[in-house]
Amino acid sequence: MSRPRIAILSRLAESTSVTRHEAAVTALRLAEAVWAAGGEPISFLPVANSNLAERLEGIHGVLMPGGGDVNPSRYGQELTTAAIYGVNDLQDQTDLEIYEYAKRVGLPLLAICRGLQVVNVAQGGTLVQDMPNRHQNFVHKITVNDPSVLGMTVPVAMASCFHHQCIDELGAGLTVLATAEAGHVEAFQVEAKAWTVGLQWHPEDNYLEFPENLSIFEKFVSEAAKTQL
């Protein structure tokens, strides 16, 4: 078949080096990883209250990438730190709407970094607003409990991280696949109709050097290829 079409949720930026105004962006490295895994990456504009059945027609899977922080009000908290950045209520709303839609209809979904945190919040969980020891520009080795879920042939991954928040209370229906030495969740699987996984790290950062990270994208794309349109 032709390449499975993967909707990558665009992230809203106040400015970029090549635009005169605000921008909706997709990280090149992320799109390249999807392509390398056999998928067709397609940027998906955040639009609130849109007809997702219509907009996602012809899409085989959804990728929810990293980005700014989720508004603490989404998980029932007040802002407690000046470290929170990039909060955008439109971004939060559309991420949550698309996640709920994908889960309901059975679209495979891969959630990365902020994406994992959005899914946790959607499932009723909470976040640590600012970690005591931030994992920014941080690479560490993690052990995956069930590597087959991620398409990995080995239980160890080199996780490239850039996050100052992490899961505090785990949401309902989430099974932990990996935990950092620091104690926070690094990966989970969602109880859903289709393959739905969250990663706290960025496998796109080093998928060329570490094949286990490419394997995750390949697993995602292979699951997306099963989608009945």
Both tokens assigned to 52: 């997702």
pLDDT above 90 covers a percentage of the chain that reads 94
Closest by CA position to 201, among listed 177, 221, 226:
177
Closest by CA position to 86, among listed 170, 169, 22:
22
Cβ-contact 178, 149 below 8 angstroms:
no
Low-confidence ranges of the chain (pLDDT < 70): 1
Q: What is the pLDDT of residue 1?
A: 64
Q: Are strands 40-44 and 5-9 parallel, antiparallel or unpaired?
A: parallel
- 152 assigned to some structural domain: yes
In this structure, is the dihedral angle defined by the CA atoms of residues 182, 114, 76 and 189, taken in order, positive or negative?
negative
Q: Which residues pair with 6 in a beta bridge?
A: 41, 61
- 112 assigned to some structural domain: yes
Closest by CA position to 157, among listed 197, 111, 212, 113:
212
Query: Considering its fold, how many domains does the chain have in total?
Result: 1
- 229 assigned to some structural domain: no
Grouping H, G, I as helix, E, B as strand and the rest as coil, residue 72 is: helix
CATH number, residue 77: 3.40.50.880
Q: What is the pLDDT of residue 211?
A: 96
Show the domain range for 146.
5-224
Q: Which residues pair with 111 in a beta bridge?
A: 64, 198
Summarize pLDDT for 13-54 with one digit per residue, the tens: 887 888 888 899 999 999 999 999 999 999 999 999 999 999
Q: Is the pTM of this model over 0.85?
A: yes
One-character DSSP codes across 138-207: EEEEEEBS-GGGGT-SSSEEEEEEEES-EESSPPTTEEEEEE-TTSSEEEEEE-SSS-EEEESS-TTSST
- 145 assigned to some structural domain: yes
Q: What is the pLDDT of residue 16?
A: 83
Summarize pLDDT for 168-187 with one digit per residue, the tens: 999 999 999 999 999 999 99
- 86 assigned to some structural domain: yes
